[in-house]
Structure 1
Amino acid sequence: MISTDTDILATAEAWAKAGRGVALATVVETWGSAPRPIGSHLVIDGEGNFVGSVSGGCVEGAVVAEAGDVIADGKPRTLEFGVADETAWQVGLSCGGRIKVYVEPVRA
């Protein structure tokens, strides 16, 4: 079961208040057969724990890895995944669509 946006954002806030490094990933654009709609969230902490989904499992590993860099340097990033990209098959987005995910640090 995928957590609700309220659960995910509450988790991001709680983790940040607890002193964890936290990043929030949000689907900001989709094209074609995208696995999750615009506005879907994934919250990640510095240990690689996460709640939510931006792709139904297809690219979460790649997003979690990038989130570690966002937590480390505090700089947001926009990630793109799609079948036209060679990396799309490596991370598993073979649904025929494309997604753009914005990853930003969360501060208490």
Structure 2
Amino acid sequence: MLARDDDILKAAEDWRAAGKGVALATVVETWGSAPRPVGSALVIDEEGRFLGSVSGGCVEGAVVSEALDVIASGTPRMLEFGVADETAWRVGLSCGGTIRVFVEKVE
């Protein structure tokens, strides 16, 4: 069962209250066959713990890695994964679609 939006936001709030660096990754655009719809979210803390999903598991590892950089730098990033993208094959997005994921630090 996937985490509900409320659970994801509550985790972000709790982790920030505990003094942890936190990032939120959100699917902002999809093309073709995409594993998760626009608005799907993943929250990540500075230790690499996460809750939620932006791709049903196929690119979460790459998103978590990018999120750790966003937490450290404070600079948001727009990520794109697609079937024609070598990165997508490496991380496992072979569903035939493309997704864009915005990653931002939670202040």
TM-score after normalising by structure 2: 0.98
Look up the match of 2:100.
Answer: 100
Q: Distance in 2 between matches of 1:49 and 1:7?
A: 14
CA distances 1:34-87 after superposition (whole Å, capped 9, x unpaired):
000000000000100000000000100000000000000000000000011111
Within 5 A, what are the aligned runs for 1:20-99?
A: 20-99=20-99
Q: Distance in 2 between matches of 1:28 and 1:76?
A: 13
Question: What do you get for the CA RMSD once the two structures are aligned?
Answer: 0.5
Q: Distance in 2 between matches of 1:86 and 1:93?
A: 10
Q: Distance in 2 between matches of 1:64 and 1:89?
A: 17
Amino-acid identity (%): 76
Q: Match for 1:43: what amino acid? A: V
Q: Distance in 1 between matches of 2:30 and 2:13?
A: 26
TM-score after normalising by structure 1: 0.98
CA distances 1:6-45 after superposition (whole Å, capped 9, x unpaired):
1101111111111001000000000111000000000000
Q: What SS class does the counterpart of residue 12 from structure 2 fall into? A: helix
Q: Which runs of 5 or more structure 1 residues have no equivalent in the other structure?
A: none
Please list every run of at least 4 consecutive aligned residues from structure 1 whose deviation after the TM superposition is greater than 2 angstroms. Answer: none
Q: What SS class does the counterpart of residue 95 from structure 1 fall into? A: coil
Q: Which runs of 5 or more structure 2 residues have no equivalent in the other structure?
A: none
